[in-house]
Structure 1
Amino acid sequence: MLKKAYFASPLFSEMEVMYNKYVVSEIKKTFSDLELYVPQDQEEINDKNAYADSIMIAKLDTDQLLSCDFMIAVLDGAAIDVGVATEIGVAYQAGIPIIGLYTDSRQQGATNQKKLDALQEIAESQFSYINLYTVGIVKTNGTIVNTIDELIKAITPYC
């Protein structure tokens, strides 16, 4: 049976668009039969030279999300993208499993004593911060991985 996934990720800078294309291509290498809805590819609502109002955007993406078997959500950035966080909430409420991809390199060094000691000084955390409410929603309905290889492994049970 053909499976369908929703790929939620920031999509407004050239860097984000290129990264999304890379991640999607890596997914498709392994899961060529997976139907993958990628919002940035929807010219109807994401051609920034054209016009799509908020209701058009919300309706198209939400309808697509609700038709999916699972969701892949890129959690990277200074903060989780607001649109991605909203899509995570929709998926959670609908009972759609979520795989979060969080690749921030500042997660490394969790056993480095100097980095741990720095936590005692104001504004000296060497680690990244990610919104724990959104993390909890993802983990309640799925998992979070920190590499594309781990993402591929996490997708396997759904395909």
Structure 2
Amino acid sequence: MKKRKIYIAAPLFNEGERAFNERIDAILRDCGHETFLPQREGGCVADLPDMIEGMPKRKYLFKLDCAHMDWCDTLLFLFDGRVPDEGACFELGYCYARGKDCIGYKTDARSFIDGYDNVMLHGAPERVLHSEEELRDFFMAEDC
């Protein structure tokens, strides 16, 4: 198994989302991979001081996240939600454009259009996983 550096692109704006993200992060770490989880590394914008390292907090978080998207070799994009998170959509496009491995994860039955998500979002991931078991199996595989 190759050890991956995984950026987890997901919504993080309520307790349920953050708990779900932490569970996914734990699975990936248990599989032996390094992860970047924005809520852990940068925090939530509402909880931060207005200025960080001489920058407005939003600019600081943007730069921090971009640096870690450059660091990663794999992006895990969490589709779950009524519609996918806008920030995660940006992160998916950024990593796809830089040739990173992009993997989707969707356990939510809701979709944008008649059972389908936006074609631009489904075009970027190499594959979309649908359960914790499938996630664990994929990231434990020798050739992942």
On whether the aligned pair clears a TM of 0.5, the verdict is yes
- Of the structure 1 ranges 50-59 and 14-23, higher mean CA displacement relative to structure 2 is found in 50-59
CA contact (8 A) 1:79 1:131 kept: no
**Structure 1 residue 106 displacement after superposition:** 5.7
- Of the structure 1 ranges 46-55 and 147-156, higher mean CA displacement relative to structure 2 is found in 46-55
CA contact (8 A) 1:99 1:151 kept: no
> CA, structure 1 residues 58+88, in 2 after alignment: closer, same or farther (shift >3 Å)?
same
1:65 aligned partner: 69
CA distance in 2: counterparts of 1:58 and 1:96, whole angstroms: 19
Larger gyration radius, structure 1 or structure 2:
1
**Structure 1 residue 47 displacement after superposition:** 5.5
**Structure 2: stretches of 5+ with no match in the other structure:** 51-55
* TM-score normalised according to structure 2 size: 0.81
CA distance in 2: counterparts of 1:85 and 1:106, whole angstroms: 17
How many residues of Structure 1 are paired with residues of Structure 2 in the alignment?
Answer: 134
1:36 aligned partner: 35
Aligned-residue identity in percent:
26
Question: 1:84-135 CA deviation, whole Å, 9 max, x = no partner?
Answer: 100000000000001100112468xxxxxxxxxxxxxxxxx9x644212111
1:24 aligned partner: 25
* TM-score normalised according to structure 1 size: 0.74
**Structure 1: stretches of 5+ with no match in the other structure:** 108-124
Q: Secondary structure at the match of 2:84?
A: coil
**4+ runs deviating over 4 angstroms:** none
RMSD of aligned alpha carbons: 2.2
CA distance in 2: counterparts of 1:72 and 1:66, whole angstroms: 14
CA distance in 2: counterparts of 1:2 and 1:143, whole angstroms: 19
- Among residues 117, 134, 145, which one is paired with 2:129 in the alignment? 145
CA distance in 2: counterparts of 1:59 and 1:30, whole angstroms: 28
> CA, structure 1 residues 37+145, in 2 after alignment: closer, same or farther (shift >3 Å)?
same
- Among residues 119, 138, 143, which one is paired with 1:154 in the alignment? 138
2:123 aligned partner: 136
CA distance in 1: counterparts of 2:86 and 2:45, whole angstroms: 19
CA contact (8 A) 2:13 2:44 kept: no
Q: Compare the two structures and name the one with the higher strand fraction.
A: 2
> CA, structure 1 residues 12+104, in 2 after alignment: closer, same or farther (shift >3 Å)?
same
